[in-house]
């Protein structure tokens, strides 16, 4: 009996469908609940392949090696895979895979991570640093690369992290740095390679290229850094004066000069005449960036430059130059100045040969023995006294000459004043005389002008009368001539009179002509009356503005 016979066709299909559904849902549930692994931010998933369960087989990865994978990422060997999975959901069946969530490695600020590779081949002879980055190394050993602050995904089976801060390496008087190296402003970093670098072709030893100010992660297994101050520094060698224990003031000798403390003599030497000399010297010197590698290579550090170069050169040059001179030469002006210049020039040449820069080399003080100073001071004092006496005598003579000159000035002043008064009086008298003469001449000229004026006025009166008489005469003649010309123009005197009569009539005169027919004046008086009345009515109408004439006109 089969299922179809037992349940029928429809029931068999339903059971098969239900079974398939259960298998699918169960598989999905198993995959989501069992195979699912969630990796959070800041974590990574380490995966180890266990190998096939029943069918097939895989070889184990060699000792000290991670399991290899094919191009698709499928494992070819049993063991830990090199690649770690990042944050997110991952699905690995625990039957074939073993998974472990590992925190990422974090290098905090101000620290440096030094990584050691646990797996790989042995390094060639003479090498101890491994080239490459995380996940890309072929040898075991310390990686050349130093890892700056940050977060890194590290396979603990392959690499080991070591966190370091600032490492200070003492080598005698030298102090070198590695790890988290800070180079401040005004400084440079001189790099010392502990081994060759095949990538950069740099060889072991002090490098000519310096690091400018900044922050650098340095692997102490590869490099050491000397932080060197650049620019100018000051070094002074000076004598010390004796001090009074009670007052703390300098103790002076008979000449007023401070007494030197023999315990700190400064730069001391013997002059050519056997006198002890003490000198103060100040050097303004420095190491420039391009000189820093050579200074580290030759002397070790800046302090060694001072001890091995600056101080010995100052003392030897001052002694060599000063021991050839007498003590008097070091005290007096021109020879003393030349000694200071010679010392500065020799010191500059010496430092140039040492690859060190000199700005100033100054001899600030030269201590001469008291007996030499007293002798020279007495001689100078005698010379000064002689000069003073000569100046006093010269001053006295000059004062006498000055007084004599002052009296002469007064005498000349009085003489000038008297002569001036005489000249003023003479000029005033001459001026008064000339003024009187001018006044008399002026009065004479005024009288002559007044006389001439009177004569001219008389002549003007006569001429004016004559001119007026002639003008009246000419006017009458012109009028008569005009009447004569008018009569001639009108043809007769009667016609001219009529013209004159006509000109004398008013311009608005009105003439009315009346016709008188047969009869007498009285018989036509009625018509005259009607005519006049009609004319009056017309004028009234015109005044009233009707603009029309009333009745018939004459």
Q: What is the pLDDT of residues 393-417, one digit of tens each?
A: 777 777 777 777 777 878 887 788 8
Q: Cα separation of 284 and 345, whole Å?
A: 14
DSSP letter string, 267-321: EEEE-TTS-EEEEEEEEEEEE-TTTHHHHHHHHSSHHHHIIIIIHHHHHHHHHHH
Kindly state the greatest CA–CA separation across the chain: 192
| Confidence class for position 7, pLDDT limits 50, 70, 90 | very low
Give the DSSP H or E segment for 339.
helix 333-353
Q: What pLDDT score was predicted for residue 239?
A: 83
| Confidence class for position 522, pLDDT limits 50, 70, 90 | very low
Q: What pLDDT score was predicted for residue 484?
A: 73
Q: What pLDDT score was predicted for residue 549?
A: 41
* Lookup: tokens for 70: 């094919």
User: pLDDT tens across 468-515, in order?
Assistant: 888 777 777 777 777 777 777 777 777 777 777 777 767 666 655 555
Length reported for the chain: 554
Once rounded to an integer, what is the mean pLDDT over residues 56-81?
82
In the predicted structure, residue 321 carries a pLDDT above the cut 80: yes
With contact defined as beta carbons under 8 Å apart, do 43 and 105 qualify? no
497 SS3 class = helix
Once rounded to an integer, what is the mean pLDDT over residues 293-322?
92
Strands 174-183 and 214-218: antiparallel
> Helix 311-322 to helix 333-353 angle, to the nearest 10 degrees?
140
Higher pLDDT, 532 or 71: 71
Q: What pLDDT score was predicted for residue 550?
A: 38
Q: What pLDDT score was predicted for residue 400?
A: 75
* Lookup: tokens for 185: 């402003």
| Confidence class for position 542, pLDDT limits 50, 70, 90 | low
10 Å CB burial of residue 301 (0-12, 13-18, 19+) is buried
* Portions of the chain given CATH number 3.30.479.30: 231-368
Main-chain dihedrals φ then ψ at residue 152, nearest 5 degrees: -130, 140
| Confidence class for position 3, pLDDT limits 50, 70, 90 | very low
Identify the architecture of domain 231-368 in CATH.
Answer: 2-Layer Sandwich (3.30)
Q: What pLDDT score was predicted for residue 289?
A: 94
Average pLDDT, the chain: 81
User: pLDDT tens across 145-203, in order?
Assistant: 999 999 999 999 999 999 999 999 987 778 899 999 999 999 999 999 999 998 889 99
Q: Cα separation of 551 and 554, whole Å?
A: 10
Q: Cα separation of 368 and 326, whole Å?
A: 10
Residue 509 CB partners (closer than 8 Å, separation 6+): none
Residue 289 CA neighbour count, 13 Å, CB half: 10
Which of 236-250, 309-323, 383-397, 435-449 is predicted with the least confidence, judged by mean pLDDT?
A: 383-397
In the predicted structure, residue 350 carries a pLDDT above the cut 70: yes
User: pLDDT tens across 237-292, in order?
Assistant: 988 877 777 877 777 766 666 777 666 778 888 888 888 888 899 999 999 999 99
Q: For residue 308, what are the β-bridge partners? A: none
| Confidence class for position 554, pLDDT limits 50, 70, 90 | very low
Residue 372 CA neighbour count, 13 Å, CB half: 17
Name which of 277, 274, 247 is nearest 260 in CA terms: 277
In the predicted structure, residue 517 carries a pLDDT above the cut 60: no
| Confidence class for position 313, pLDDT limits 50, 70, 90 | very high
Best-predicted range by mean pLDDT among 26-30, 132-136, 207-211? 207-211
Name which of 80, 217, 226, 57 is nearest 146 in CA terms: 217
Share of the chain above pLDDT 70, in %: 83
User: pLDDT tens across 195-230, in order?
Assistant: 999 888 999 999 999 999 999 999 999 999 999 999
Q: Cα separation of 11 and 379, whole Å?
A: 146
Alpha helices in 491-524 (DSSP H): 493-504
Q: Cα separation of 143 and 115, whole Å?
A: 6
Angle made by CA atoms 62, 64, 70, in degrees to the nearest 5 = 55
Q: Cα separation of 141 and 143, whole Å?
A: 6
In the predicted structure, residue 532 carries a pLDDT above the cut 70: no
């Amino acid at each position: 009996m089969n299922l179809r016979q037992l349940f029928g066709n429809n029931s068999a299909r339903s059971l098969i469908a239900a079974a398939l559904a259960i298998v699918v849902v169960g598989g999905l549930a198993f995959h989501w609940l069992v195979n699912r692994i969630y990796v959070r931010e800041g974590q990574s998933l380490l995966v180890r392949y266990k190998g096939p369960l029943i069918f097939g087989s895989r070889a184990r990865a060699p000792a000290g090696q991670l399991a290899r994978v094919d191009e698709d990422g499928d494992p070819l060997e049993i063991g830990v895979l090199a690649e770690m999975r990042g944050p997110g959901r991952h699905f690995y069946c625990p039957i074939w895979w073993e998974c472990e969530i590992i925190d990422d490695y974090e290098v905090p600020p101000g620290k440096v991570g030094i990584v050691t590779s646990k797996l790989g081949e042995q390094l060639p002879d003479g090498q101890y640093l491994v080239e490459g980055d995380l996940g890309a190394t072929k040898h075991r050993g310390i990686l050349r690369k130093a890892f700056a602050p940050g977060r890194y995904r590290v396979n603990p089976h392959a690499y080991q992290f070591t966190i370091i801060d600032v490492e200070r390496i003492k080598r005698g008087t030298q102090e070198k740095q590695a790890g988290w190296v800070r180079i401040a402003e005004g400084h440079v970093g001189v790099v010392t390679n502990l081994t060759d670098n095949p990538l950069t072709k740099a060889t072991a030893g002090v490098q000519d290229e310096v690091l400018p100010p900044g922050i650098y992660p340095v692997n102490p297994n590869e490099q050491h850094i000397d932080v060197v101050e650049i620019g100018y520094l000051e070094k002074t060698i000076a004598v010390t004066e004796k001090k009074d224990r009670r007052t703390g003031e300098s103790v002076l000798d008979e000449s007023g000069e401070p007494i030197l403390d023999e315990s700190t003599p400064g730069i001391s030497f013997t002059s050519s005449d056997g006198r002890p000399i003490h000198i103060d010297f100040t050097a303004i010197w420095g190491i420039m960036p391009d000189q820093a590698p050579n200074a580290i290579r030759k002397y070790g550090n800046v302090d060694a430059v001072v001890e091995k170069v600056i101080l010995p050169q100052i003392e030897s040059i001052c002694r060599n130059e000063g021991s050839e001179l007498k003590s008097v030469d070091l005290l007096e002006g021109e020879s003393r100045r030349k000694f200071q210049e010679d010392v500065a020039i020799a010191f500059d040449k010496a430092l140039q040969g040492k690859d060190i820069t000199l700005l100033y080399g100054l001899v600030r003080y030269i201590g001469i023995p008291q007996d030499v100073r007293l002798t020279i001071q007495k001689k100078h004092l005698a010379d000064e006294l002689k000069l003073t006496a000569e100046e006093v005598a010269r001053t006295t003579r000059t004062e006498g000459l000055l007084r004599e000159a002052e009296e002469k000035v007064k005498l000349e002043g009085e003489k000038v004043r008297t002569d001036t008064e005489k000249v003023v009086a003479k000029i005033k008298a001459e001026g008064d005389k000339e003024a009187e003469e001018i006044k008399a001449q002026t009065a004479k000229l005024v009288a002559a002008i007044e006389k001439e004026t009177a004569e001219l006025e008389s002549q003007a009166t006569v001429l004016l009368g004559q001119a007026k008489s002639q003008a009246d005469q000419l006017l009458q003649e012109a009028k008569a001539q005009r009447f004569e010309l008018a009569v001639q123009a009108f043809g007769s005197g009667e016609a001219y009179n009529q013209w004159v009569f006509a000109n004398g009539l008013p311009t608005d005169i009105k003439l009315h002509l009346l016709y008188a027919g047969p009869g007498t004046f009285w018989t036509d008086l009625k018509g005259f009356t009607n005519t006049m009345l009609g004319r009056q009515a017309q004028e009234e109408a015109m005044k009233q503005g009707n603009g029309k004439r009333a009745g018939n006109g004459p």
